[in-house]
Structure 1
């Protein structure tokens, strides 16, 4: 009787428990159907759309563009937000693949998109911790899904979507492809993504040159790029390296002997070194963008029929130009330049040293400024460019090509005298130097009466230049300037004031250097640029600079102008006599604007043309600023050094 009662009681208890379980299950099913199923369906649809929208190229992301000097050494890398170099699966060292699989997902090649065991463990943790993720468990495929498509919120919703995207990725790509995507897209700290960029960043070599210990050291970083940052927290990185080596040994990727060698190897960081130079970078980037604009078919213009036409052009130009800048920063080009970093340093040092006595600053940037450009006359290429003084704070204004200033008398040879020689004037032509009502004054209001053009140029007489320019007409004189692509010559400039460089906007040192380099080549103009060639991220040469020439001045007129300008340095009355070069034949013209706001020295040898400008960004008087003082000294110091060991020779006579 007692047993029967107990049996009935047990059955009743079991029945009650079963009812409770069924009731709870029903509640869970109803709850899931009402609350979770719509979310699950939505997440599944979203995952499907995301994966369907991508292609193999999606995982290439932004690639780092490299800038090279004349010796093919890296000057700097250019990237918008992250430093990344993509490697195909076959180019990723096997030890790199093994290291990541061993430490991140040892059964990667055995399971599907996700590990059931690991994810049940994570889901249990989520339930236990009220919707918060407190531990890992993501496969390599899940990590890729999170890195490419999701944020790092630790919620069940994000975890479910991560799994769904992983399933879709696993259906679309092979295991090898997914591992390739993963290794190329993970974060290695310091804005560096992918193992190749990391290898260059921290060891200054390609990852196929790394040993096992170095590979595991890099593999340690992505687990927590801040905690394992090798620059700031190298001891943390080393501890995880050791953990990865142990994992590789346990999983039979390496032998005991390999482990012992690697664990005892002393890691020595050798960060990628750049000759990084903000002036070179900004100028090269500008040059390269204009190359891409041409390749895209953009039609450059400098004359417009109406203001509306000009405004529309400027907007189109800005849109295309900025698009090309972004393209360069994001798509892994190799930009090879003519920049000679030794000459670059000489030019920068010459400018800095000469102006070292002017210490006034504005927000960490020196107030008195300068810029300089040096061109190889043989190629017409810019080999050095200085956009300002080396300041305590980084200065982004490259005055060598971005700042337009009044050129003063340095404009005369280009717009007045060389064109005049093509009109029949000679160096022996006599002009009466006198003050003309409404015209310019000579320096010190001193007038020479009848004087030859040769001596008028060498002593920089304003009245003579004014008269000659009036004779040949501004339209004729400025046509040569326009033909050399000076970019800010506008219709308001076609007046007699232009004879002395009185322009609406002005000119840049790059433009002036290209003009004087044209004289040095006997009148043949070459578009000034520092770009040799550009290679895209597929290794294809998309641009090769042929340094094409076009005749601007007649050879005889150019030679005559050069011969006169030699006297500016050689004769005691010449305005540049005090900065003449020792043992090097050269020619030069000084330029100083009203109230000594701008000082120029434009000079050249048969080898190089160098132009120097000095002044304040907001024009104002500078004590003792003339073309032959600060600009001339900078020019002299640089040119004397770059000609060291060079055989002296004269300019070619036609």
Structure 2
């Protein structure tokens, strides 16, 4: 008995000594480590990385940017079943311990002793994991573990349990770039936390252990085993009943990758937003939780996408089938697994699905899709696929299906009506569309190409293409400011100019049809898009004057050639630039600045930026007052004595300038500064009457000219102009009413020809029509009301002069009021003086 008491006393001494030494060791460790520990007070204002989100004007998601997926969730919005699943899996005594769990530590120590040093599972609490995730590295060392313990105690003193749990649930990595339970619920199940069932909650709670190798997308069997362990732990801790556990375990997991729920496809504009966000907000723009609302209209954007794709596919079919996208050799015993592997590197683009031909015969072919579906193509579905030979020719129509596709071909298919499929191909041509509000420049729709996934080059903003005849309205505006009128007559006849740069030393421009109609009024010349009239017109007003004048439409001077070819649209412009220029006509003479970012909010919902675009604001009292001020201040400069090749517009004609900028060589530098509560006015850059005259001509282009197909929209408030360049390399249509301006371009990136007959009216105008049909739906027509200073007169269509009262052939024409008087003079004997043509005007 004495021996036993003695041994017990020794054991007690040893225990007390051990405790003292342990406390001393902890004290020394704390003394050594504590100064190097970070302050946990930063957790009160922690800013988790949250991706940038981009929305349309009507709050539909366009894109998210950032390396991590994260949707912060307030702790009060986390359902109890989600909290309980994580507590059961990670730290059931979380609400009871002071930051560390003695039982967990003893379990970890016992594991070390039992396994001979294997670190194995630690005894880390949720608080310790927060300390590690926010302040420490993931390396497994004793120093890091002790630091983690001390930090956990500090955190417990600084924050409440719910605040700690909130940090954990929003920070924890759960695989596939998903950080936090909100992002993981969306990615794996496409649900919010409230929508998760019990099994799904348990699956998310199982992920912190093995987020990369134990998630259900990587190893579903292993993930379900871990999920069932979490469910058992929830039962053990009385969070659920046994019946709930069994029911959840019996359910197969249905997780699969749910990408962010993009609601509107606008990747080209989204990339523009990303670049601007970095410029405005700095390096943290993509991780600091900003929400950007754009000016985009989701309905218009969807219509633009569809119009561009449908028209490019139609163009492609007109020119024939270029063959399979790829070919693989298939053995007779190839399995669906082999098919899937061959298709793995091909992705659906714009509704065109990659497919592998597994059987091909005279009457039908069978194809395998990546989702395991087998589809059949019959003769009707390939009848369009005449072999492509060149941009101007195709081969004979196919007589059998196997004449078009062979076993092993990888082709594209598109779903037709009533679950039928048809052969398709990715278009080789490209297109771009820009649509904006002419009042303030807000971009409503933008498409930069057939598919962003295929090419990220934004043709709507980054291209530099020749606009062809689409440039002529700018030239006509310059001419009307120089004294010409819609009734002025020029001669549509052959022209020859010296050009040392050409092999034969001459430049002889021609019309598209190589025909000549003789003397013609300018209205008819624009309606018919007569090239030679434009050349004579530019020659008459002067290249230098025209180039400087056209900068008022936002075109940079360097984009325009310094020769007469400019009259045929040889400038270099992008569709956005064209839309901006046409907006000057649509809004009555003001130059607006296109923009696409309407507002930016931080993660707390506070506005950090709101666009304040300068507006045309034609009906605003401020605009009327500003125009009156400009009229009072106007002092028009004298014009150079440039020869004018017309009988109806002598160079000595009287001038009238209602605004200061009407004859200026350059655009006003800035918009009018607005007083608080009043609109910021865009600079007036063109006489409203000149804008009205040119718009009148472009209305006739649609009514009876090259754009008459647009009459299919059954609207009377549309104006526009087609454009086609040499060898049909570019096709354009730019058109508008007073509510919307839209410019469309079609062509090849390598400047190849679109093919004979592919004019702007055929290749580009259908896109414009299909888009505007949707964009203008429900919008009332606006009457075409002439501004003050516009008069109507009866003229002789043969001379362009005022007609006598008894002239039965007279027609009505509109003019600037001051032009009426000089049109009453009789015309000279020769309506058009050709004597100066061919003289040197420093053209080339």
TM-score, structure 1 normalization: 0.76
**Partner residue in 1 for 2:161:** 175
Does 2:695 match 1:562? yes
CA offset digits 1:176-209 (Å, max 9, x no partner)? 3222111111123322211222333344454245
Does 2:60 match 1:73? yes
Out of 98, 122, 136, the position equivalent to 2:122 is 136
Structure 1: gaps (5+ residues): 1-6, 293-319
Cα offset for 1:531?
3.8
Does 2:652 match 1:592? no
Cα offset for 1:636?
3.2
CA offset digits 1:502-529 (Å, max 9, x no partner)? 33xx222122123223322333444333
Alpha-carbon distance in structure 1 between the residues aligned to 2:730 and 2:576 = 16
Cα offset for 1:108?
1.8
Change (3 A) 1:518 1:127: farther
**Partner residue in 1 for 2:447:** 386
Change (3 A) 1:132 1:496: farther
Cα offset for 1:288?
6.7
Q: Secondary structure at the match of 1:628?
A: helix
Cα offset for 1:455?
1.9
Alpha-carbon distance in structure 1 between the residues aligned to 2:596 and 2:703 = 31
Q: Secondary structure at the match of 1:590?
A: strand
Q: Secondary structure at the match of 2:432?
A: strand
CA offset digits 1:477-521 (Å, max 9, x no partner)? 5556555555x6538756655444333xx2221221232233223
Out of 706, 711, 728, the position equivalent to 1:575 is 706
Out of 66, 69, 91, the position equivalent to 1:105 is 91
CA offset digits 1:596-625 (Å, max 9, x no partner)? 322211123455433221222222333223
**Partner residue in 2 for 1:464:** 533
**Partner residue in 2 for 1:305:** none
**Partner residue in 2 for 1:3:** none
Q: How does 1:332-481 map to 2 (within 5 A)?
A: 332-341=290-299, 342-357=302-317, 367-376=428-437, 380-390=441-451, 394-414=454-474, 416-433=475-492, 434-437=494-497, 438=499, 441-444=509-512, 446-469=515-538, 472=541, 477-478=546-547
Out of 615, 618, 630, the position equivalent to 2:750 is 618
CA offset digits 1:284-319 (Å, max 9, x no partner)? 4424754x5xxxxxxxxxxxxxxxxxxxxxxxxxxx
Out of 521, 526, 529, the position equivalent to 2:587 is 521
Cα offset for 1:84?
1.0
Superposed CA RMSD in Å reads: 4.3
| Kept in 1: contact 2:478–2:550 (CA 8 A) | no
| Kept in 2: contact 1:354–1:633 (CA 8 A) | no
CA offset digits 1:520-567 (Å, max 9, x no partner)? 233344433344433221111334445531233333222221221122
Deviates more, 1:527-536 or 1:116-125: 116-125
Alpha-carbon distance in structure 2 between the residues aligned to 1:596 and 1:457 = 19
Alpha-carbon distance in structure 2 between the residues aligned to 1:485 and 1:160 = 66
Alpha-carbon distance in structure 2 between the residues aligned to 1:446 and 1:560 = 27
Alpha-carbon distance in structure 2 between the residues aligned to 1:42 and 1:626 = 81
Change (3 A) 1:114 1:453: same
Aligned residues: 590
Cα offset for 1:327?
0.4
Larger Rg: 2
Structure 2: gaps (5+ residues): 327-344, 347-425, 500-506, 616-681, 788-844
Cα offset for 1:338?
2.5
Deviates more, 1:339-348 or 1:164-173: 164-173
Change (3 A) 1:161 1:130: farther
| Kept in 2: contact 1:426–1:453 (CA 8 A) | yes
Alpha-carbon distance in structure 2 between the residues aligned to 1:272 and 1:109 = 35
Alpha-carbon distance in structure 2 between the residues aligned to 1:382 and 1:541 = 21
Cα offset for 1:246?
3.7
Name whichever structure is richer in helix by fraction: 1
Change (3 A) 1:481 1:189: farther
Alpha-carbon distance in structure 1 between the residues aligned to 2:728 and 2:30 = 75
Cα offset for 1:173?
3.8
Change (3 A) 1:456 1:74: same
Q: Secondary structure at the match of 1:371?
A: strand
**Partner residue in 2 for 1:630:** 763
